[in-house]
Amino acid sequence: MFRKVLFWSHLVAGLATGIVVFMMSLTGVILTYERQWRAAVAEGHYVPAEQQGVPLPLEQLLSRAGEPQAGQPYSTLLLTNHPGAPVEFRSGRRAGATLNPYSGDPLPVRSEQLERLLSALTGWHRWFNVGGDGRTVARQITGVSNAVFLFLILSGLYLWLPPLLQVAKLKARLWFRRDYPSSKARDFHWHHIFGIWAAVPLLAVVYTGMVISYPWAATALYRVFGAELPVAETAATAAGREPGATAATRSPPRGPAAVVLGNPTHTVAGPLPPLPLASLVERAVAYAQGDWQRLQITLPAPTDSHVRIEIDRGNGTQAHKRYTLSLERSSGAVVEVHTFADTPATQRLRGIARYLHTGEVLGFWGQTVAGLASLAALFMVWTGFALSWRRLIQPLLGRGR
């Protein structure tokens, strides 16, 4: 009796949310290598070798960056481990300036057409690409559909479990066949094959999507891994918003927070003048021993005695491959090293979950597995609808005739 109820619940839930799950899976497949697309476009605009020379001082480049469009002063400097890469100054999350490190001229490294395409695909993936007040409703629909998809995966595993315990039937449902007696048998078999092979990665992708959408899912993740919620985050969860978010910003962050050492100290510099930024960058590069992809320098205030430089050894989404140095400005000495293990457990889990959803936290192969899982979900939705049509609609049409 329980299996029968579960089966019909599985079928009805799949029919109710199948279109939304199909849309999210399709856009997820297309966005699988979003990061690589952007990187390829950026590298196509890098300064060619014949035009490279002696880089300008970073302070001079900062003066040439002009006034930020956001109206706030530049707060960070981003350097990429490539001789032709631009020097990026950022103000806030999006605003900034990218400059040719050798001439100081603007060096755009983005394609507006690609950005519009990716923005539209991301909008469809998250909220049907609607704006205004309708976006809140759309986010609720995609969030609920994603949660229902989790139920479909778990209930499907339970429904498949008895046959899978038999070796012969397990082998029969693991591989494709050349010939099928009917289209119904093919769809039934494919529904099982894609479901079995994609179950584990889909569980990771779908649940981390819930962590992004719902604070209670994030809280459950923290508790499973034994991470203690700070008092402020516990109160935020009880209030119905994500831990760490304010009342005005209830949506989760777009990515893991940067690993920092805490609030910068504002003390009067000693008698020695501060070193140029380039010298401090050289000290950080020497400390990293060449093992770095990006450096993010928090631009210090004139009275700051230390400067923070974050060293990223990964692809930009792997928080476990980042650490931060605190350098004394007057001597360049490393006074503190802040690693991934030093950050709060909740922050570590949040950072991993955000990019486990796209697979980026595991690098290229993680992205590939997440993309293949989304592709499998497309076939699962399609075959599920086909099987439901034959079970529910075709008999009614037969009666009518």
Residues 133 and 79 occupy one common structural domain: no
What is the residue range of 198's domain? 2-33+116-254+358-400
Residues 152 and 220 occupy one common structural domain: yes
The answer to whether position 129 is within a domain reads yes
The answer to whether position 60 is within a domain reads yes
Residues 190 and 244 occupy one common structural domain: yes
The answer to whether position 312 is within a domain reads no
pLDDT at 263 over 70: no
Residues 196 and 245 occupy one common structural domain: yes
CA distance linking residue 400 with residue 224, whole number of Å: 53
The answer to whether position 285 is within a domain reads no
Nearby residues of 62 by Cβ (< 8 Å), 6 or more positions away? 74, 77, 89, 299
CA torsion sign, 309 to 338 to 263 to 235? positive
pLDDT of residue 129: 93
pLDDT of residue 131: 87
Tally Cβ neighbours within 10 Å of residue 218: 25
Residues 55 and 188 occupy one common structural domain: no
Read off the pTM.
Answer: 0.83
Residues 74 and 128 occupy one common structural domain: no
Residues 27 and 158 occupy one common structural domain: yes
Alpha helices in 336-391 (DSSP H): 345-356, 363-388
Tally Cβ neighbours within 10 Å of residue 81: 15
Residues 145 and 28 occupy one common structural domain: yes
pLDDT of residue 230: 61
The answer to whether position 344 is within a domain reads no
CA distance linking residue 357 with residue 252, whole number of Å: 13
Residues 49 and 131 occupy one common structural domain: no
Closest CA to 257 of 154, 340, 176: 340
Identify the residue with better confidence: 270 or 67. Answer: 67
Q: Which two tokens stand for residue 1?
A: 């009796």
Tell me phi and psi for residue 170, to 5 degrees: -60, -45
**Residue 243: pLDDT band with limits 50, 70, 90:** very low
The answer to whether position 303 is within a domain reads no
Residues 187 and 90 occupy one common structural domain: no
Residues 216 and 126 occupy one common structural domain: yes
What's the gap between Cα 371 and its chain centre?
Answer: 13
Residues 90 and 170 occupy one common structural domain: no
What total number of domains does the chain contain? 2
Q: Which two tokens stand for residue 77?
A: 């400097």
pLDDT of residue 401: 57
pLDDT at 193 over 80: yes
Cβ atoms of residues 115 and 178 within 8 Å: no
